[in-house]
Amino acid sequence: MTTVLGACGTIVASSFVIFLALSNAPGDPVAGLLGAKSTDAARAAKRAELGLDDPLLVRYWHWLTDALHGDFGTSVVFRQDVAGLIGPRLETTLLLVALASVLMLAAGISLGVAGGVSRRWRSLVSAAVGLGISVPAFVAAGFLTSVFAVSLGWFPTFGAGVGLLDRIHHLALPAVALSIGYGAYIAQLTSAAVHEESGKEHVETSRGRGISERRILRAHILTNAALPVMTASGLAIAGLVTGAVVVEEAFAIDGIGSLLVKSISSKDYSVVLAVSLVIVTVFVVMTTIIDIAQAFLDPRQRGAVR
């Protein structure tokens, strides 16, 4: 219960900070709406209609009470319900993040384990990690597109597709581009954790007792290394949601990331708030899940989370 209340508090506090920051950012949203030829009177009327002249707290209160009723307002730019704008884009972004998470975890953990247990693999894995961490997602995006989409023609160059299979086809390259950085981070962390665990006394003792390497790996090393890896993975998945902003731009995928960028530049308050809250919520949910999972995996922490 406290966890849930804390999460809600975090979300509401974030919304207020975002609201405040947006109000203080320079630029008049009406400038974008009515065009440069509009008269002063028309702009004043529009401002009044949109409630932009009300005090900040009044505007925030209106937004908050509406939001609690599930009404996230109307986009001033698209003149459309915010929920209707975000819905289809959120699906796209979540699928992209899900694909990237699978890739990140599969590649990151298996590379990490390989690097952690095998001396031969270690240097190879750390070279791959170095490369993966240093290549920005948009550079990877350009490279992947020119090789696998333009030259080889295996994948489409842009867009999000229609229907599940087509969507996965469209989102495959973006998911790879998105997963590289965090995948390298997970590989690095897993490798270090596995390496550390495999040097521990009880592992050496087990070896001395002639227990098979495979069994040691499963029973001792991986179980104990899982905790830090799990924590990092949860945060990495939340990080993928923000990383999606860059990748969506590069592959011209209209997800919530590119919507956020567009809405910030036009000061489309209700859209910025709603998208930001989706992202904040993902973070809050992920950290809560990590807390619970940690408690579950680590008996010492059991009872810490209720």
Q: Whole-angstrom Cα distance, residue 183 to residue 185?
A: 5
Is residue 51 close enough to count as binding other proteins by CB under 8 A? no
Distance CA 172, CA 95 (A): 10
Least Cβ distance, residue 108 to other proteins (angstroms):
27
- Could you say whether residue 42 binds other proteins (CB under 8 A)? yes
Q: Tell me the site size for other proteins, rule CB under 8 A.
A: 48
Assess 153 for contact with other proteins (CB under 8 A).
yes
The amino acid at residue 238 is A
Interface with other proteins, residue 45, by CB under 8 A: yes
Cα–Cα separations (whole angstroms), residue 6 to 2, 12, 226: 6, 10, 27
- Least Å distance between CB 33 and other proteins? 8
- Rounded to 10°, the helix 137-144/164-198 angle is 130
Instruction: Give the footprint of other proteins on residues 124-143 (CB under 8 A).
Output: 142
User: Rule CB under 8 A: is residue 251 a binding residue for other proteins?
Assistant: yes
**Using CA atoms, how far apart are residues 62 and 51, in angstroms rounded to an integer?**
10
Residue 218 is given by DSSP the state I
* Inter-residue long-range contacts of 158-167, CB under 8 Å, 24+ positions, other chains counted: 158/251, 158/252, 158/253, 159/251, 159/252, 159/253, 160/92, 160/253, 160/254, 160/255, 167/92, 167/95
254 is an interface residue for other proteins by CB under 8 A: yes
- Candidate list 112, 115, 183, 255; residue touching other proteins; CB under 8 A: 255
- Residue 28 DSSP label: -
Nearest approach, Cβ of 32 to other proteins (angstroms)?
6
Pick between residue 61 and residue 154 the one whose CB is nearest to other proteins: 154
Stretch in the footprint of other proteins (CB under 8 A) among 84-92, 109-117, 180-188, 280-288: 84-92
Give least dist CB 88 to other proteins, A. 6
CA distance 117 to 196: 10
Backbone φ, ψ for residue 75 (5° rounding)? -70, 125
* From 2, 24, 39, 120, residue interacting with other proteins (rule: CB under 8 A): 39
Q: Is 265 in the site for other proteins (CB under 8 A)?
A: yes
DSSP 222-272: IHHHHHHHHHHHHHHHHHHHHHHHHHHHHTT--SHHHHHHHHHHTT-HHHH
- Kindly state the tokens that stand for 249: 């731009």
Figure out which of the listed residues 249, 269, 272, 276 binds other proteins, where binding follows CB under 8 A.
Answer: 249
Rounded-to-10 torsion of CA 81, 83, 85, 86: 160
80 scored as a contact of other proteins (CB under 8 A):
yes
Question: What mask of x and - would describe binding to other proteins in positions 205 to 244, judged by CB under 8 A?
Answer: ----------------------------------------
Helix (H, G, I), strand (E, B) or coil at 302: coil
Using CB under 8 A, which residues numbered 155 to 194 contact other proteins? 156-160
In whole angstroms, how close is the CB of 141 to other proteins at the nearest point? Answer: 8
Site residues (CB under 8 A) for other proteins, limited to 60-79:
77-79
Amino acid at 240: L
Binding region for other proteins (CB under 8 A) = 26-29, 31-32, 34-39, 41-42, 45-46, 77-81, 84-85, 88-89, 92, 142, 145-146, 149-150, 153, 156-160, 249-252, 254-255, 259, 262, 265-267
